[in-house]
């Protein structure tokens, strides 16, 4: 299905998403079927809009941090003086995939305490690999004739990096950032187990009270948020490619 066909659906989904965040009570008839007895159908212990904003801010901060670290390492190992660091860099960025986020939380809580800190560390580590690998591949496959032409025109190594290599690699780098961001949207939910303010709070509350309406709300909000983030970054990728 083409991107253009997705646009009306995405806009409709965005409108429903925003409407639910700011007036969740209007959707009570849809969720009451999943709440037992007199249990509330809509999560009201905290503002869903506020939780979504906190969730998104955590994801943005983690993805931005992962991007800076991964891009630094990718640029380093694609320079002649840093090529020897490639195995070490790959080991570093693979840590997040080797250790599950829950394990990272368990290790970080005694040091950083409860809250957003341990969750942020887990998301940063978990988001490094896709950005690094995409950036490494893109920078390693810049056509040599283009680089040679830039060198022949008198550009310094720094100028070639910023004005030639990174612009050509940008679409692939953005693809890695998109994958990392979508992963972070889903993974951030576990942060609520260590008192981080995320949409996982709604899911945890539903699990604790056996309220399937809460579980469904939290799951749907995270899924829609991940889809919208993916669509936004996909649109940015296409724009950069053009």
**pLDDT, tens digit (0-9, with 9 covering 90-100), for 170-222:** 999 999 999 999 999 999 999 988 888 999 999 999 999 899 999 999 999 99
Q: What is the mean pLDDT of residues 53-57?
A: 95
Q: What is the mean pLDDT of residues 218-242?
A: 92
CA distance 206 to 213: 7
Task: Give me the percent of the chain exceeding a pLDDT of 90.
Answer: 56
Q: Return the CA Rg of the chain.
A: 21
Q: Is 20 within the bounds of a domain? A: no
CA distance 79 to 56: 34
The pLDDT assigned to 1 comes to 43
Residue 49 has pLDDT above 80, yes or no: yes
Q: Is 229 within the bounds of a domain? A: yes
Residues 144-171: b if buried by 16+ CB within 10 A, e if exposed: eeebeebeeeebeeeebbeebbbebbbb
Residue 59 sits in a domain of what CATH number?
1.10.3720.10
Q: Is 9 within the bounds of a domain? A: no
pTM: predicted TM-score of the whole model, two decimal places: 0.90
pLDDT tens digits along 75-119: 999 988 888 889 989 888 888 778 778 888 888 888 888 888 999
Q: Is 26 within the bounds of a domain? A: no
The pLDDT assigned to 2 comes to 47
Please give the mean pLDDT across all residues of the chain: 90
Q: Is 170 within the bounds of a domain? A: yes
Domain of residue 134 covers 45-241
Domain count for the chain, please give it: 1
Q: Is 88 within the bounds of a domain? A: yes
CA distance 197 to 169: 35
Q: Is 7 within the bounds of a domain? A: no
Report which of 195, 228, 162 is spatially closest to residue 51, judged by C-alpha positions. Answer: 195
Q: Is 10 within the bounds of a domain? A: no
């Amino acid at each position: 299905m083409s991107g253009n066909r997705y646009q009306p659906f995405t806009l409709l989904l965005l409108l429903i998403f925003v409407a639910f965040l700011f007036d969740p009570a209007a959707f009570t008839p849809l969720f009451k079927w999943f709440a037992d007895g007199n249990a509330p159908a809509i999560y009201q212990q905290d503002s869903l809009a506020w939780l979504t904003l906190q969730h998104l801010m955590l994801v943005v901060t983690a993805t931005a941090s992962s991007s800076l670290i991964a891009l630094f390492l990718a640029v380093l190992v694609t320079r002649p003086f840093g090529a020897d660091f490639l195995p070490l860099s790959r080991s570093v960025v693979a840590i997040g995939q080797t250790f599950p986020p829950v394990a990272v939380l368990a290790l970080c809580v005694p040091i950083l305490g409860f809250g957003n800190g341990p969750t942020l560390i887990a998301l940063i580590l978990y988001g490094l690999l896709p950005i690094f690998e995409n950036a490494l591949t893109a920078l390693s496959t810049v056509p040599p004739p283009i680089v040679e032409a830039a060198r022949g025109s008198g550009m310094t190594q720094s100028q070639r990096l910023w004005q030639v290599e990174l612009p050509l690699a940008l679409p692939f780098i953005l693809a890695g950032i998109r994958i990392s961001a979508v992963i972070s949207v889903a993974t951030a939910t576990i942060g609520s187990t260590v008192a981080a303010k995320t949409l996982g709070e709604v899911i945890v509350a539903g699990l604790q009270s056996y309220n399937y309406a809460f579980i469904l709300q939290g799951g749907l909000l995270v899924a829609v948020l991940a889809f919208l983030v993916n669509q936004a970054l996909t649109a940015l990728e296409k724009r950069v490619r053009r």
